[in-house]
Amino acid sequence: MLNPTDKLLESGCDIEKKEKLCRSRGGESCAFDGAMIVLQPIADTAHLVHGPIACCGNSWEGRGTLSSKGELYKMGFTTDIDEIDIVYGSESKLLNAIVQACKSVHPKAIFVYSTCVSGLIG
């Protein structure tokens, strides 16, 4: 009989062949990523990630968004919050990012995504 900690010592590929305990690669399991998958196919919209820049890059590198004209499909927007924003708040950064996205690309809609970081600090 296996001790529950034995599974932690086994290589990921071996475990995955036996039973589906966890994914072999991360970054595709948070609610933010699920929201991006669902909303990115909506054309001519801006996608603003309220969180660290790594969250935006992690979700964007595998897929873009649709657009009927211009280069909006290549663009991702982020507030790029950091440690200072976590402590003192990042509402003004979010407002500025929304205004900047509106002025620069004139999207039909802006989707604002909360990440784990911005969700935890409120």
Q: Where are the domains of the chain?
A: 25-121
Q: What is the rounded distance in angstroms from the CA atom of residue 41 to the CA atom of residue 47? A: 11
Q: What number does CATH give the domain 25-121?
A: 3.40.50.1980
For the stretch 60-87, pLDDT in tens is 655 566 667 777 777 889 999 999 988 8
Amino acid at 117: V
Does 114 score more than 70 pLDDT? yes
**Residue 38 has what pLDDT?**
84
Average pLDDT of every residue of the chain: 77
Residues paired with 47 in a beta bridge: 111
Q: What is the rounded distance in angstroms from the CA atom of residue 12 to the CA atom of residue 26? A: 12
Of 20-24, 55-59, 63-67, 101-105, where does mean pLDDT reach its minimum?
Answer: 20-24
Q: Determine contact, residues 94/112, Cβ cutoff 8 Å.
A: yes
Q: pTM for the whole thing?
A: 0.69
